[in-house]
Amino acid sequence: MKKRYLTVLAAGLCISILTGCQETPRNTIVKQKGADNVKEYESAEGKVKDMVNAPDTYQNQAEYENGALVIDTNAEVILPGADTMNTYKVSAEEVNQEMIDKVTNVFFDEAKFYHAYSYSQWTKEQYQEEITRLKQYKAEGNLDPYEYGKDENGELYFNIDEVIARDEEKMANAPDEAVKEEVKPSFGLEWISGKGEEAEKQVDKHEFYGVAETDQGNYNYTITSGEMSADVKFSIEKIRDDVPDPREFTAWVEGRYLLDYQRDDYNGMTEEELKEFVDISYEDAKKVAREKIEKLGWDWEIYNWDYTVFQHGEGNAQKDNILDGGYLFYFTRALDGVPVTFTDSYGGGLEDMDSTLIPWSYERCEVIVGDDGIQKVEIYNPYHIDEVQTENVKLMDFDSIAKIYEQMMEVSNADIAEFEKQRTYHIKKITLGYSRVYEPAVDNRSGILVPVWDFFGGFDIEIEGHHEKNNGEHSRQSFMTINAIDGTVIDRELGY
């Protein structure tokens, strides 16, 4: 299916050729990464502010590849409020029933839970509703209502007649009412796939797919974990009853994509336009989100926030296809007053498709709150803080970090002219905070939180007369992450 909507397009725009330095080029001033470097971290007596000696703002503009690559840096430099920074040994919290119960009880007090497979079973009435809707589309001459497009032979991917015929066949054997199976959120639940002689028992050994019924509405509740990895994800999303067509694409779209992003046929939205869809105050939404997350006891604090709107249908998010709005809160851990920097990167990537390593993704938490409460929650991979490894670790000065940044931005984009006519980076914010690094070949369940510099922004591109722009004003995309201790470049996608 073609990806035509803004969320994916904007996210794609933010993915740079800069995928990190798996092997730092010999002609750069950056040290090689490796396990030995970790042992070399040393303490210092000075304060963070004095050690890094960073300016309030940093400006620099450079052109490369005969103007095909421009790095425009006009950024606020943000330091943590703490006087010292340490390195911390961290490990993955054990994924067990205790963890599942903790998250479940925080978000679903006194809820009833049902197995998603039984809950989602269609009744005769639901099939009839879809048949009627599809026949109406066909009568109007709309044979591709969901804009799936055509294949290489010019045939529609969505064959409306086949879908109607299939629905009519299924409706004959569908129940008048769905029989919901009440369950407890846990791994190892059984379910039956197929019917009659083809029926087969399945077991979700490392997943839970359910629906929670609450006084505030019903929610899809999903928990997934890796069979071999330490990764776990909790996903909670309110089931809406105001979508005109259940088959339509729907998504919560982050406001920054609409505020910062433009292309030839789309100018985004203004902050005032976004506010029109939000019927709750920032303070009230913040209180709802914070109270829930504090109950988890993982020492997470609000790092930043954004507007968000709920879109239905294909195409870009705009006034006529937005049903609702709210606030999106990004939570992160803070240690001794210094936050773990929140970025778009989930970590846990692999260097190539042939890799046999088992990755470990970052800890992260996002909560969406609307006028009727929690709308969506995503929680990934909570850490356990084991111990301080190095107290008041010695940091490089900012001037040295800036030189590494300038050189590595050029090196990492050296082949840009082969793919794009022109690219201009807009770096708007530079932050010093923590990031977790690990060595998956040695241990994929523990790592170290180290001080890092992140360079946030957006970029404009031109490809064969097509223009896309992202000014980076509200960006969470870090285009360079540099270890503040030794100057090594960290690949955010890999996590080391």
Domain locations in the chain?
6-91+387-483, 92-116+195-385, 122-177
The predicted-structure confidence for 90-103, as pLDDT tens digits, reads as follows 999 999 999 999 99
Closest CA relative to residue 236, chosen from 439, 377, 394, 75: 377
483 burial (CB, 10 Å; 0-12 / 13-18 / 19+) is: buried
**pLDDT surpassing 60 at residue 6:** no
Chain length of the chain: 496
Question: Quick one: tokens of 278?
Answer: 């939000």
Mean pLDDT of 137-153: 94
**pLDDT surpassing 90 at residue 234:** yes
Considering 25-39, 189-203, 284-298, the range whose residues carry the highest mean pLDDT is 284-298
How far apart (Å, rounded) are the C-alpha atoms in residues 64 and 417?
Answer: 10
pLDDT for 113 = 97
Three-class HEC string of 197-225? HHCEEEEECCEEEEEEEECCEEEEEEEEE
- For the chain, what is the mean pLDDT? 90
The predicted-structure confidence for 262-309, as pLDDT tens digits, reads as follows 988 888 999 999 999 999 999 999 999 999 999 999 999 999 999 999
Mean pLDDT of 395-419: 95
The predicted-structure confidence for 110-127, as pLDDT tens digits, reads as follows 899 999 998 988 999 999
CB-based contacts of 421: which residues, under 8 Å, 6+ apart?
A: 68, 462, 463, 464
Residue type, 429: K
Which carries the bigger pLDDT value, residue 418 or residue 29?
A: 418
DSSP 237: E
How far apart (Å, rounded) are the C-alpha atoms in residues 115 and 182?
Answer: 6
The predicted-structure confidence for 149-174, as pLDDT tens digits, reads as follows 999 999 999 999 999 999 999 999 99
pLDDT for 280 = 97
The predicted-structure confidence for 126-136, as pLDDT tens digits, reads as follows 999 999 999 99
- DSSP per residue over 416-465, as a string? GGGT-SEEEEEEEEEEEEEEEE--TTT-SSEEEEEEEEEEEEEEEEEETT
Does residue 27 contact residue 375 with C-beta atoms inside 8 Å?
A: no
Question: Quick one: tokens of 128?
Answer: 């009839």
pLDDT for 194 = 74
Question: Quick one: tokens of 475?
Answer: 């960006």
How far apart (Å, rounded) are the C-alpha atoms in residues 271 and 392?
Answer: 41
| SS3 category, 48 | helix
Residue type, 453: W
pLDDT for 39 = 53
